[in-house]
A and B are shown apart, each in its own frame.
Chain A
Amino acid sequence: MTAEQVVFVLAAVVTLGSALGMVTTRSVFVGALWMIAVFGGVAALFILLGAGFLGIVQILVYIGAIAVLILFAIMLTPRVMGDPNAPRYNRQWPLVAVMASALASLLVALVLRTDWPLAQEGAPTITGFAVELGKGFMTTYILPFEVASVLLLVALIGAIVIAREE
């Protein structure tokens, strides 16, 4: 068991554990916190995979923006959250649980069965990847970049218009 594997197992355990925690907690706020933990775990996995830039972006965007937003949303809708003993699941949760676990097993089976065309090159260089990514965005993948920017703009305007209090 190399160091890397140890770290991987650790990160995986953290992510999956907090994911389970998120799903099972009674109050949504705590669920949100567990979700943040999951984002942290995923960021760790990214860094482990050598995508340092992406890890930090993950932290910055998911934890810094989305999680905060969700927390805000939860706090702005207090009344329902008020009573902790409200049942947190709808009626169909046993069925869904079965389906989710079936899905998980199927996916895992799928993963194990297909032989992935592994690349033979050496380890990726952790540093300097941000520059290539930036270049990539600006040259070959200019269209997705522009589309994403337009999407963000539209989402921004949309959210403001919908959520604005008259």
Chain B
Amino acid sequence: MNISPVHYIALPLLAAFLIPLLSKLHKELARIVPGLVFLYFLVISVVLMQRLETQPMISEVIAGWSAPWGINLVFTPFSGFLVSLMSFIGFLVWVYSYHFKKIDYMPAQKYFILLMMLVTGSIGIVLTGDIFNLFVFLEIVAISAYSLTAFYPGRDGAEAAFKYLLVGSFASALILLAIVILYTQTGTLNMADLAVKMHEVPHYLKVIIFVLFLVGFGIEAEMFPLNGWAPDAYSQAPGPIGAVFAGIVVKGGIYALVRVVYTIFDLSGVGTILIALGLVTMIIAELAALRQDNLKRMLAYSSIGQMGVVLIAFGIGTDTAIFAALFLMLNHALIKSMLFFSASYLLYNSTTKTIKELTGMAKHLPFVSFIFALGAFAIVGLPPFSGFWSKLYFLMAAADAQMVLLIITVLSVSVIEIIYYFRVIGKIYSKDETSELEPKKPTINSVLVMTVLGALIIIIGVYPDLVTDWIHHASDALVNKSNYIQNVLTENLPR
């Protein structure tokens, strides 16, 4: 059996259906099997990325019906980049949460199934080449995300999840509407085929479809003004799930948006809309983060702000800008998940999760505090860390496009970022010890995860060339739309 992209979907599903039976056999299997699946994800990623060096992309048909007739999975360097990133973060989250034998009094089996499907659904969004199949994967992600948000039996989790569910089902209704209109006009659901037939669609219908997709996927990508669900969901979900939301789920939403904008529609005229939306998202989110006193909500708003920057970069749309956008996504995934991991230890026994409670935490938890400080330095873009390079590339791309106002805005927003992150660091490292929180010693696996992430951030910061080739490959693949269409539509069956 050759390794092919469909393994990303088939094996976790097999594992998810088997786990209820396996855990009757032995309790521990419910925790171990998802880990094996994540490990296998990493193996497939490495093998497939190597295969991409000899061929431009891997397009796999499902059920033996070639591209427009059946569903297909497309593994381009761009989707490969995101999938590898998601598998890596997913694996780290699994390692981090491995010691969850029981979450409060809930058996952890359901947690691991939902976590695995959350990652699998996001990978499915990235891999699929069919617009309705994308919707199905979006629903897989959505349902597991709702359940995980309400996972703790406390009262606010259910409310955050209900809010998320309302907004999410509105989004999926809009996406379905867009799919209906698109189908009546083109008679196909394959994204490459849609891109070919898009010129048959009257212009005003194009606009309507675009707005429906933009709002629908924008909700998943935390775009203004529909991101009200995000801070609640981030702060109420179990600690590592915040990392999954920031590192994986949002990336899926951004991918769907970008795939629709870049492949199905032409970019002309759309870029300015993305830039404007990204700017508003960024400014409002960073201002909101400044006045938060809840640490997790602050991190969530900061995450929304970063997504705004990514949207701006995709909106500029030049080669360098897309390169910067992908670099920003990579850094955001690594750094934000590290911040969420360390924050959930800093706030372990807190009920209100406010920043005030952190005063003097560095004495009790030197390692975790150090990791948090490292992440904060990296995400605001200080030089020796990886966040610096992505911000630099972004500013260079904006300068190439001669958007001076944009550069000034982003720089001043960075100042806001520095203010609120340093306020937290100042509290953690403050001398007067008033914290009443009972510190929880980090377990070995979580220390391992944070060390790996911290080391990666420093290594990428010192040698950015390690990843730039990879990202260049990915951004070229996104820009080269005709290559995508040609490869998908002329794919022959493997027989």
A associates with B: no
Residues on B close to A: CB < 8 A?
none
